Amino acid sequence: MLKQQTVGVVVREIAKSYPDTEAYVYPEHKIRKTYEQFNQETDDLAKAFMGMGIAKGEHVAIWSDNKREWLLSQFATGKMGAVLVTVNTNYQEKELGYLLNQSDATTLILGEEFKGTSYIDVINAVCPEVKNSEKGNIQSEHLPFFKRVIVMSENKYPGIYTWSEFEAHASKITDQELDERLNMLHVDDVINIQYTSGTTGFPKGVMLTHMNIVNNAQIIGDFMKLTPLDRLCIPVPFFHCFGCVLGTLAAVTHGTTMVLLEQFDPKRVLQAVQDEKCTGLHGVPTMFIAELNYPDYKQFDTSSLRTGIMAGSPCPIEVMKKVIEDMGAKEITICYGQTESSPVITQTQSDDAIEKRVATVGKPHPHVEVKIIDPATNEDAPIGTPGELCTRGYHIMKGYYKNEEGTHAAIDSEGWLHTGDIAIIDSEGYIEITGRIKDMVIRGGENVYPRELEEFLYQHPSIQDVQVVGVPDPKYGEELMAWIIAKEGVTISAEEIRSYCKGKISHHKIPRYIEFTESYPMTASGKIQKYLLREMSKEKIPTA
User: What percentage of residues in the chain have a pLDDT greater than 90?
Assistant: 85
Give pLDDT, residue 523: 84
Give pLDDT, residue 198: 53
What is the CB neighbour count within 10 angstroms for residue 384?
11
CA 164 to mean position of chain CA atoms: 29
DSSP track, 345-361? EEE--TTS-HHHHHHS-
Report how far apart, in Å, the C-alpha atoms of 483 and of each of 308, 450, 537 are.
28, 11, 9
Beta strands in 252-401, from DSSP E residues, in sequence order:
257-260, 280-283, 307-310, 333-337, 344-347, 363-364, 368-373, 387-393, 399-400
In the chain the first and final C-alpha atoms are separated, in Å, by 61
Domains, the chain, ranges and CATH?
Answer: 2-363+393-405 (3.40.50.12780), 440-540 (3.30.300.30)
Instruction: Report residues of the chain scoring pLDDT below 70.
Output: 197-201, 543-544
Tell me: the pLDDT tens digits for 214-243? 999 999 999 999 999 999 999 999 999 999
Query: DSSP H helical segments within 383-467, as ranges?
Result: 404-410, 450-458
**How far apart, in whole angstroms, are the C-alpha atoms of residue 480 and residue 303?**
40
Q: What is the DSSP letter of 439?
A: G
Q: How does 405-424 read in b/e, with b if 16+ C-beta sit within 10 Å?
A: ebbeebbeeeebbbbbbbbb
Give pLDDT, residue 274: 98
- Taken as a whole, the chain contains a residue count of 544
Angle in degrees, CA 434, 436, 440, rounded to 5: 80
Give pLDDT, residue 122: 97
Q: What is the DSSP letter of 134?
A: P
User: Residue 367: which region, alpha, beta or left (left: phi > 0; alpha: psi -120 to 50)?
Assistant: left
Report how far apart, in Å, the C-alpha atoms of 255 and of each of 43, 79, 144, 259 are.
17, 17, 41, 13
**H or E element that contains 481:** strand 477-486
Which of 345, 539, 355 shows the shortest CA–CA distance to 455? 355
Sign of dihedral through CA atoms 51, 56, 58, 61?
Answer: positive
Sign of dihedral through CA atoms 101, 141, 189, 234?
Answer: positive
Give pLDDT, residue 446: 77
Give pLDDT, residue 544: 45
Which of 244, 233, 300 shows the shortest CA–CA distance to 25? 233
Tell me: the pLDDT tens digits for 243-295? 999 999 999 999 999 999 999 999 999 999 999 999 999 999 889 999 999 99
Give pLDDT, residue 196: 86
Q: How does 142-152 read in b/e, with b if 16+ C-beta sit within 10 Å?
A: ebeebbbbbbb
